[in-house]
Structure 1
Amino acid sequence: MTTHHKYSPVGQGDGPRPRSLTAAELWKLVSQRKFVWVACLVVLLPFIVSRKYPEPLVEEELTPPPTASDDVTTLIDFTVGGCNIWKGDWIPHPDGPAYTNTSCRLIQDHQNCMKNGRPDLGFMYWRWKPHNCELPLFDAKAYLEIVAGKKWAFIGDSIARNHFQSFLCSLAQVEVPDCTFNDGIDLNVHWHFKSYNFSLDIVWAPFLVKSTEDEAEGYAQGIEKLHLDMVDESWAPSLHTYDYIVLSSGQWYLKPSVYFLEDKVVGCHYCPKLNLTEVGFYYAYRVALRTVFDFLISSEYKGVVFFRTFTPDHFENGRWDNGGNCTRTVPFESRAISLEGMTLEMYTIQLEEYGKTLRRSTEYSFKLRIVDTIHASLLRPDGHPGPYRNFQPFAHDKHAKVQNDCLHWCLPGAVDTWSAMLMDVLTHL
């Protein structure tokens, strides 16, 4: 097929030979082309400068994104009982939280902001208000009555554990549970509510797929080794013992890692000293999520799967490792901020892989629901421990330089709303 060029070189192309251009016409043509290039640059520049993390170099080749005619995210129903509870704003809530660090002894120290001396306590006095409906506060007694005789597991990373502890503290206001298992480092802990015969577990699986930071596969300790096609053995064998599972992950994928498929290295993320192809964590995260959903389908799981979305951080004035902090004391308004950059990329990957799984709904018998906490979390820069992840960090020097935690959440606080959202989904199954 012949390509037709409006301005073909002399002697090429179809049709009559074009006449010679005058100097004025030539300058006009050049100016037009300059304008096109400048216009393109103006359009692309925001995307270029906004990139905070490298694009996976082989993402397009290995896992092409959906085309416009194959937008699987349209399969996702974000309404719960007829309302989108995920989009809204935070409004004042004078009653405060359902528990405190004195009424719940189960909070880990690095999330116990009151104990550690945080001077402002306003972060505990906000309530989530969806734009077009109401989200009921978490009713711990009603929840325990619904799940009596059942077994739940939160499976994921330290954010999953953060949510688990919030959940546990709320339930403990109704009945103090018995600890039936602890691995000694609080990564895997099991609790039992005797009156309701209800078990609640936290299972440590920061990538959801098989991983190790120890020396292995010929690579030194300190860099993660991820088998993207193998589900983590910390939760795979026990899957069928749970009636409900809450899956979440994401932030750990930013760590330097080497990736394996079928026990062969396929690339890495941030490994400049290794002779490997940089494929990036976006590629790894997409493949890992696909592995997890494939496993759930092939295992013929018959319970309920809650898939919680990505958790944004709120570091300002730097990163976590070079002075970044989070000093805000009130929430953002939804009209003033939106998802962008890496957070948006990870969220998009989640929605696409979740949507692809929904499209396969005839292949599985479990119930799959999204718990889309990302939007409410984005609006809470005030909800993190900041420097108060440690006990009284400024007791000896009010100007001390302290590493901030702007990723995890103070308890009680904003993360308690995730439980209200989760229960609302549960009651509308």
Structure 2
Amino acid sequence: MNHKNVLLIKLISAILISFFAFRLFILHSSEFSPIFASVTGKFEARFLPPEIIVPENEDLIPQDIEVEKCDLFAGKWIPDSVGPIYTNKSCGSLIDGHQNCITNGRPDLDFLYWKWKPHDCLLPRFDPRRFLQLMRHKSWAFIGDSISRNHVESLLCMLSTIEEPVEVYHDMEYKSKRWHFPLHNLTVSNIWSPFLVQAAIFEDSNGVSTASVQLHLDRLDETWTSLMPSFDYAIISTGKWFLKSAIYHENAKLVGCHNCQEKPHIEELGFDYAYNASLHNVMDFLAAEDNSKGTVFFRTSTPDHFQNGEWHSGGTCKQTEPVSDEEIEIKDVHKILKDIEIDQFKRAVREKTNQDGGNLKLLDFTRMLLTRPDGHPGEYRQFRPFDKDKNAKVQNDCLHWCLPGPFDYLNDVILETIVNG
């Protein structure tokens, strides 16, 4: 056989092999393709995972990967180029005017570009779509003072990037409100109860008192206790209101006061006495399994950053960036409040519940927020306060938090706590 014939035979063999291989591929393809088309056509919406839309970032953790357990409350603020997921304009209707710092004219925006980073693990960004999916047919409550209102507005703004909430209730003073997310059947309530115990308060909308508060330390405020069984999740907090002048009652008897200068004959017990007694009763109620059906978070009180005075004495806060733990000390009054909160929480968990504390959990955000003196409205509590007079003297707010701002990152921690314990 000559060389040309050998080449011809090899060529014919190669063609035949290619032909049969192609036939075999077509045969198997025809067997599977109709089934694949049928499945995707008929069951696509049922079986395909929902689309998750979040800001692109380097620390997004896939939902099917277990996140390392760590102390989410111990960490530091690091620069973040992404920034908030909502703006003062996109959520302007939900933000209290005093906390809408950018609309009010705050000129610096660098405070928006920091994120919370725990020391020992990654913290996924708050995913509003995932939160709404997890909370379908659930109810949430934020119970406490104006900081609780600050918090609920932060959460609503983040969720509004996926679905707009509908306000379905408010009380006569617009201090307690309720919203509904109809597409997910999620209800979010804000319940005004600044002391958590029964209180008669005599002050105007600017916080100016005409008489001392009358506090019943052993009687919880039924405004919130009566509703607790209906909530799947509740975040409860108090704190700074106990620094106000007040007269204390226990067992229907007057027992003392704090800073009650108009009645010098009453024994001065100090705000710490009232805070300890009130939280003792609050924690006992929260730790009792029969009083709530869901998960209850107690949030520690948030520090203010007034310098050179306080709310009514010219205090200011002009910082424009976070500080480190080493650069700031907690004020004595905040330390007293925090110590009482931790002591009463631990006591209630130890005495009233099982080893893990049942459904009562602690959100210790004090140190996290202590290092954000730049996050307050400051002099931009009012709308464009210096438009008419650059030297105008204005009320500074170094207690509440700008929205958007550092307070939004509390929701990152809360969602991670819910998902991974």
TM range (shorter): 0.7 to 0.9
SS at match of 2:386: coil
Q: What is the alpha-carbon distance in structure 1 between the residues aligned to residue 252 and residue 68 of structure 2?
A: 44
SS at match of 1:357: helix
- Asked whether 1:427 is paired with 2:415, we answer no
SS at match of 1:279: coil
Residue aligning to 1:100: 87
The superposition leaves residues 294-313 of structure 1 with CA deviations (integer Å, 9 ceiling, x where unpaired) of: 22345442311101111100
TM-score scaled to structure 1, two decimals?
Answer: 0.78
- Asked whether 1:316 is paired with 2:312, we answer no
- Asked whether 1:244 is paired with 2:236, we answer no
Q: What is the alpha-carbon distance in structure 2 between the residues aligned to residue 260 and residue 401 of structure 1?
A: 39
SS at match of 1:230: strand
For CA contacts below 8 A with separation 6 or more, give which structure has more relative contact order: 1
Moved segments of 4+, more than 4 Å: 363-366
SS at match of 2:225: coil
SS at match of 2:306: coil
SS at match of 2:222: coil
Residue aligning to 1:56: none
After superposition, residues 144-293 of structure 1 pair within 5 angstroms as 144-214=132-202, 222-274=211-263, 275-293=265-283
Cα distance, 1:336 vs. partner? 2.2
Contact 1:87–1:131 (Cα < 8 Å) also in 2:
yes
Q: What is the alpha-carbon distance in structure 1 between the residues aligned to residue 291 and residue 196 of structure 2?
A: 18
Aligned CA distance change for structure 1 residues 81 and 255 (closer, same or farther; 3 Å): farther
Q: What is the alpha-carbon distance in structure 1 between the residues aligned to residue 186 and residue 273 of structure 2?
A: 38
Q: What is the alpha-carbon distance in structure 2 between the residues aligned to residue 363 and residue 260 of structure 1?
A: 32
Q: What is the alpha-carbon distance in structure 1 between the residues aligned to residue 267 and residue 341 of structure 2?
A: 24
Q: What is the alpha-carbon distance in structure 1 between the residues aligned to residue 352 and residue 255 of structure 2?
A: 30
After superposition, residues 22-421 of structure 1 pair within 5 angstroms as 82-104=69-91, 105-214=93-202, 222-274=211-263, 275-298=265-288, 299-362=290-353, 366-421=358-413
Q: Identify the range of structure 1 (101-110 vs 334-343) with the bigger mean alpha-carbon deviation.
A: 334-343
SS at match of 1:311: coil
Q: What is the alpha-carbon distance in structure 2 between the residues aligned to residue 185 and residue 273 of structure 1?
A: 28
Instruction: Give the % identical residues.
Output: 45
Contact 1:297–1:363 (Cα < 8 Å) also in 2:
no
Contact 2:284–2:352 (Cα < 8 Å) also in 1:
no
Note the residue ranges of structure 2 that are not aligned, 5 or more in a row.
1-66, 204-208
Contact 2:84–2:404 (Cα < 8 Å) also in 1:
yes
Cα distance, 1:150 vs. partner? 0.8
SS at match of 2:312: coil
Q: What is the alpha-carbon distance in structure 2 between the residues aligned to residue 397 and residue 204 of structure 1?
A: 36
Q: What is the alpha-carbon distance in structure 1 between the residues aligned to residue 418 and residue 251 of structure 2?
A: 37
Contact 1:259–1:265 (Cα < 8 Å) also in 2:
yes
Contact 1:88–1:334 (Cα < 8 Å) also in 2:
no
Note the residue ranges of structure 1 that are not aligned, 5 or more in a row.
1-79
Two-structure CA RMSD over aligned residues (Å):
1.8
